[in-house]
């Protein structure tokens, strides 16, 4: 009996301490829904987490960070959205287009921040980039495609044909390929398209176009990103370089990449989340495009293919893999 009393007293004391702690430090809840797990999107999520930490929001202390992935299935993305909205977090974060749409459709009140969405207007996430209005805003990862074409011209003298592998089922990729076509046609360069519906199709799609082009462009397409090694492998056999839209591709053997470090995209997304924490109205935060397109070069891959990286390029590069 005495023992029981001691235990209940201890328990009561513990309760008081815990609830007092809760009063002093406000905990912010962030729920992140991601369409599929692959290096670029995972890096975005990690960047977001680290970006928040740098701002003083630390997981386990004053930040509750929940994360789910739909494993590529939009129906599950919808279920995750319902689950998250029911938990009433302070901020919902949607990584890539369908997850962001599912979140936006599930709530009109909880702030939704999207990131790694190429075309937020086309996805109807916002009506106006400057004044989003509703409860949705975020960061677009539209690649500087025109600069990619310039880069490919710099790499390959007398460039006539660019090959591109993408998934026609991905809204992100379609937007980029349209931009690529208009940028290339302005320079009278032909674009040869190869489509891959699954990451398993990337290799065969690359084989088909490899003999017809002088360089292969790897856009920030989720399917291509998942199979970038296969794409680089084919290009190496055909002795043509791969130029990518994500800097992580250089690590996998692309000769050059000009684009975002998706980790940095995540860090920049943390600005949006913080703004919401501080009580800023979501509808008044403009949509911005991810900053910091860095040039990454791969000297090793260039040497293997017998490509000389010009002095000017080497100077511009923010990272060179030897």
Partner 1 sequence: MSLFAFLGTLEIGLVYGLVALGVYLTFRVLDFPDLTVDGSFPMGGAVAATAIVAGVNPWLATGLAVLAGAACGLVTAFLAVRCGILHLLASILTMIAAFSINIRIMGRPNMALLGEPTIFTPFDNLGWDQLYVHLGLVFLLVLFSALFVVRLLSSDFGLALRATGVNERMVAAQGGSIGFYTYFGLALSNGFVGFSGALFAQSNSFADVTSGVGTIVVGLAAVILGQTLIPGRRIWVAVTAVIVGSILYRLAVAFALSTGMFGMQASDLNLITAVLVAIALIAPKMKGKVRLKAVTR
The structure tokens listed for 179 are 């931009």
Burial class (CB in 10 A: 0-12, 13-18, 19+), 74: middle
Site string for partner 1, 223-262 (x = CB under 8 A): ----------------------------------------
Q: What is the DSSP letter of 283?
A: G
Interface residue with partner 1 among 61, 124, 131, 281 (CB under 8 A) is 124
Between strands 136-140 and 91-95, the pairing is unpaired
Helices (H) and strands (E) in the chain, counts: 13, 13
Interface residue with partner 1 among 12, 197, 200, 314 (CB under 8 A) is 197
Q: What's the rounded Cα separation, in Å, for the pair 50 and 47?
A: 5
- What DSSP line would sit under 120-178, residue for residue? TTTTTS-S-SS---SSEEEEE----HHHHHHHHHHHSTT--EEEEEE-TT-HHHHHHHH
H helical segments located in 168-261: 171-186, 202-210, 222-226, 228-237, 248-251
Q: What's the rounded Cα separation, in Å, for the pair 104 and 296?
A: 35
Interface residue with partner 1 among 40, 165, 174, 295 (CB under 8 A) is 174
Of 81 and 242, nearer to partner 1 (C-beta) is: 81
Q: What's the rounded Cα separation, in Å, for the pair 289 and 291?
A: 6
Q: 152 forms bridges with which residues in the sheet?
A: none
Of 159 and 191, nearer to partner 1 (C-beta) is: 191
In whole angstroms, how close is the CB of 135 to partner 1 at the nearest point? Answer: 11
**46 contributes a contact to partner 1 by CB under 8 A:** no
Number of C-beta neighbours around residue 124 at 10 A: 12
In whole angstroms, how close is the CB of 77 to partner 1 at the nearest point? Answer: 9
**87 contributes a contact to partner 1 by CB under 8 A:** yes
**86 contributes a contact to partner 1 by CB under 8 A:** yes
**97 contributes a contact to partner 1 by CB under 8 A:** yes
- What is the total count of residues that contact partner 1 (CB under 8 A)? 41
Interface residue with partner 1 among 8, 27, 160, 168 (CB under 8 A) is 168
In whole angstroms, how close is the CB of 197 to partner 1 at the nearest point? Answer: 7
Interface residue with partner 1 among 55, 76, 288, 313 (CB under 8 A) is 76
Interface residue with partner 1 among 28, 29, 46, 66 (CB under 8 A) is 66
In whole angstroms, how close is the CB of 162 to partner 1 at the nearest point? Answer: 21
In whole angstroms, how close is the CB of 119 to partner 1 at the nearest point? Answer: 9
In whole angstroms, how close is the CB of 316 to partner 1 at the nearest point? Answer: 34
Question: Does residue 201 contact residue 250 with C-beta atoms inside 8 Å?
Answer: no
**69 contributes a contact to partner 1 by CB under 8 A:** yes
Question: Does residue 259 contact residue 294 with C-beta atoms inside 8 Å?
Answer: yes
In whole angstroms, how close is the CB of 80 to partner 1 at the nearest point? Answer: 6
Q: What's the rounded Cα separation, in Å, for the pair 232 and 236?
A: 6
Q: 195 forms bridges with which residues in the sheet?
A: 166
Query: Which stretches of the chain bind partner 1, using CB under 8 A?
Result: 34, 37, 66-69, 71-76, 78-83, 85-88, 97-98, 101-102, 104-106, 122-125, 127, 167-171, 174, 197
């Amino acid at each position: 009996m005495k023992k029981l009393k001691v235990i209940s007293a201890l328990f009561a004391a513990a309760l008081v301490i815990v609830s007092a702690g809760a009063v002093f430090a406000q905990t912010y809840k962030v729920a992140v829904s991601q369409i599929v797990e692959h290096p670029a999107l995972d890096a975005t999520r990690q960047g977001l987490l680290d970006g928040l930490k740098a701002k003083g929001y630390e997981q386990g202390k004053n930040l509750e960070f929940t994360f789910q992935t739909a494993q590529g299935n939009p129906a599950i993305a919808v279920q995750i959205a319902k689950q998250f909205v029911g938990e009433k977090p302070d901020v919902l974060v949607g990584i890539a287009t369908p997850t962001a749409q599912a979140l936006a459709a599930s709530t009109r009140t909880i702030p939704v921040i999207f990131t790694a969405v190429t075309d937020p207007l086309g996805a109807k996430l916002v009506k106006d980039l400057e004044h989003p209005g509703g409860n949705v805003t975020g960061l677009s990862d539209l690649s500087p495609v025109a600069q990619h074409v310039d880069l490919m011209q710099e790499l390959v003298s007398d460039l006539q044909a660019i090959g591109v592998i993408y998934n026609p089922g991905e809204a992100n990729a379609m937007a980029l390929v349209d931009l690529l076509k208009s940028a290339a046609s302005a320079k009278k360069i032909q674009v040869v398209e190869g489509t891959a519906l699954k990451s398993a199709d990337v290799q065969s799609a690359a084989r088909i176009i490899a003999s017809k082009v002088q360089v292969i462009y790897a856009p920030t397409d989720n399917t291509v990103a998942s199979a970038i090694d296969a794409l680089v492998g084919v290009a190496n056999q055909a002795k043509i370089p791969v130029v990518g839209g994500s800097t992580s591709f250089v690590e996998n053997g692309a000769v050059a990449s000009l684009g975002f470090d998706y980790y940095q995209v995540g860090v920049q997304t943390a600005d949006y989340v913080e703004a919401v924490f501080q009580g800023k109205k979501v509808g008044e935060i403009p949509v911005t495009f991810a900053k910091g397109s860095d040039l990454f070069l791969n000297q090793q891959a260039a040497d293997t293919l017998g490509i000389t990286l010009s002095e000017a390029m080497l100077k511009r590069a923010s990272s060179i893999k030897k």
